[in-house]
Structure 1
Amino acid sequence: MKHEEKYCPRCKTAFECKVGSIQLCQCADIKLDNEELEYIRDLYENCLCASCMKELKTEFHNRNYQDKLKNILGVFYRSPKNQK
């Protein structure tokens, strides 16, 4: 079965999408819960490369952690330097 070559909309890297053989696809090793999946779907409509999926999973958890800190610390909270 021929697979589709796609370009990651986030990093522009080419990858082979194996939607017809999803268990063999590069994304199959990335385990996402429903919240992580929703976060990524809100940002991108198309397939991403495995590397970007991992980075966005981490980004999701970092943002949640920062939000929790902000709620706990209130006016004493300071955003990390690399975050807006």
Structure 2
Amino acid sequence: MHETKTCPCCNKSFECKFESITICQCMEVHISQITRELLVKRYDECLCKECLSHIEGGNTTTRLED
């Protein structure tokens, strides 16, 4: 099942394939375990691959620490 979601970080729409996670857009981005743990604490929803890439690469002003 695919669902159109809105990224809570940038508010852009993207297609989430949560029931086919191996082909979901988020699987294109390598996220470290530390970043993954921080994202789970910060967001209740999936993020788009662009925001995931920026966060993992440190190219964003998004603050992950509370």
Q: TM-score, normalised by structure 1?
A: 0.63
Match of 1:52 in 2: 51
In 2, are the aligned partners of 1:40 and 1:56 still within 8 Å (CA)?
no
> Identical aligned pairs, as a percentage?
36
Aligned match of 2:25: 26
In terms of Rg, which structure is larger? 1
Aligned residues: 59
Amino acid at match of 1:12: N
**Relative CO higher for 1 or 2, CA cutoff 8 Å, sep ≥ 6?**
2
Structure 2 alignment gaps of length 5 or more: 60-66
* 1:1-84 map, 5 Å: 2-59=1-58
Cα separation, 2, equivalents of 1:18 and 1:59? 25
Give the secondary-structure state (helix, strand or coil) at the position aligned to 2:15.
Answer: strand
The ranges of structure 1 where at least 4 consecutive aligned residues each deviate by more than 6 angstroms after the TM superposition are: none
Q: For 2:28 and 2:12, how far apart are their aligned partners in 1?
A: 18
Q: TM-score when scaled to structure 2? A: 0.77
Superposition RMSD on alpha carbons, in Å? 1.6
Higher helix share: 1
